A and B are shown apart, each in its own frame.
Chain A
């Protein structure tokens, strides 16, 4: 997803750090080997980055400037939820939804490129007040959820699956809006996706809420 702009811009003091929210390195490995990125591809078994940046889904992204300051806080990295209109029999999406999905991702990637090229004059940059206003912060239940998730992941790695399951379920109960926590622990289908009937029911239950919240950026779908 990021290789093309990284190729174009890597000489301009720019790095992409792609972090896999995957409890098993071996689940992430084939994807990384196929993508063969030149940029950094890290594995986050305990979803530590999600905890630190209060993220709830993938893909999410943060723009961090040269001084280590957050220029755009954690946000949906240009994903559009056209998949919600998918025909589950044929596994196809209506053309307009597909077109919007493709355009949204391209718009987001181009915005990142614009930031790297233009720096402070990039129209997509937030000032500090706006960045703060867009920063979602965790509450006590979310903090407690990450604790149970961390413990659950440790127990899973140490052959204590039944006990782990309780802590992962508790994490999801305490932080129900985290798709990261729910999907990591959810049953996977034959292609490794947490896209069971239960997943679709959960998406359906969102109603008018978003699976991928709109990005506050010119040219992005609402």
Chain B
């Protein structure tokens, strides 16, 4: 089993045989929000074509190497030594654009009882978002 930690959450997929993060196109879309289309890997109106001459590194037999695309798009990725866990992050440019828009990025986190709360649940109130730590 391969675990994918992405901005959309935590996902599991069958382990691939080859190097990289090879996923069925629908798994890749669920884990990343990027869909495989004839024109390339796409999210909304944005499509990233498969680099010419390197198709086998990115797409094969209906599967997509999401890690290869991720890095090709300049987005951060890290993997465990035996490739069974992948962390795919949002790109710095996207984060910067979002922060400069001044729209507060939403998140969902648990309280001590395990109940999940989202920032957006409190729209309509002034919100002081404050961090602390036990350490």
Which residues of A are at the interface with B, using a C-beta cutoff of 8 A?
A: 1-2, 12-22, 25, 27-33, 40-44, 48-55, 58-70, 73, 77, 112, 115-116, 119, 128, 131-132, 135, 137-140, 142-144, 146-148, 150-151, 154-155, 160, 163, 167, 170, 180, 183-184, 186, 188, 192-194
Collect the chain A residues with CB atoms within 8 Å of residue B100's CB: 132, 135, 137
Q: Note all chain B residues with C-beta closer than 8 A to A135.
A: 99-100, 102
In the assembled complex, which residues on chain A have CB atoms less than 8 Å from the CB atom of B123?
66-68
7 contacts between A and B (CB under 8 A): A13-B125, A15-B122, A49-B107, A51-B89, A60-B130, A69-B102, A144-B89
Q: Is B85 an interface residue (CB 8 A)?
A: yes
- Known contacts A43-B112, A132-B100; A27 and B5 CB within 8 A of each other: no
Give Cα distance in the complex from A73 to B89, angstroms. 22
Q: Are A58 and B128 in contact (CB under 8 A)?
A: no
Task: Specify which chain A residues have a CB less than 8 angstroms from the CB of B102 in the assembled complex.
Answer: 69-70, 73, 128, 131-132, 135
Q: Is there an interface contact between B110 and A42, defined as CB atoms closer than 8 Å?
A: yes
Please report which residues of chain B, range 98-135, place their CB below 8 angstroms from some CB of chain A when the two chains form the complex. Answer: 99-100, 102-105, 107, 109-112, 117, 119-120, 122-135
Residues of A within 8 A of B79 (CB): 151
Interface of A is mostly: mixed
Q: Which 6 A-B pairs have the closest CB atoms?
A: A137-B96, A151-B87, A143-B92, A42-B109, A147-B89, A52-B105
Q: Residues of B contacting A27 with CB < 8 Å?
A: 134-135
Q: Which of B62-113 contact A (CB under 8 A)?
A: 74-81, 85-92, 95-96, 99-100, 102-105, 107, 109-112
Given A25-B112, A64-B119, A131-B102, also A138-B95 (CB < 8 A):
yes
Q: Would you call A115 and B126 a contact (CB within 8 A)?
A: yes
Question: Which residues of the other chain, A, contact B75 by a CB distance below 8 angstroms?
Answer: 143
Q: Is B3 among interface residues, defined by CB-CB distance under 8 A?
A: yes
A183 cross-chain contacts in B, Cβ below 8 A: 133, 135
Q: Which chain B residue has the least Cβ–Cβ distance from A137?
A: B96
Give the interface size class of chain B. 35 or more
Q: Which of B77, B99, B109, B128 contacts A61 (CB 8 A)?
A: B128
Complex formed: what's the CA distance from A25 to B123 in Å? 26
With beta carbons under 8 angstroms apart, the residue of B77, B109, B120 that contacts A68 is B120
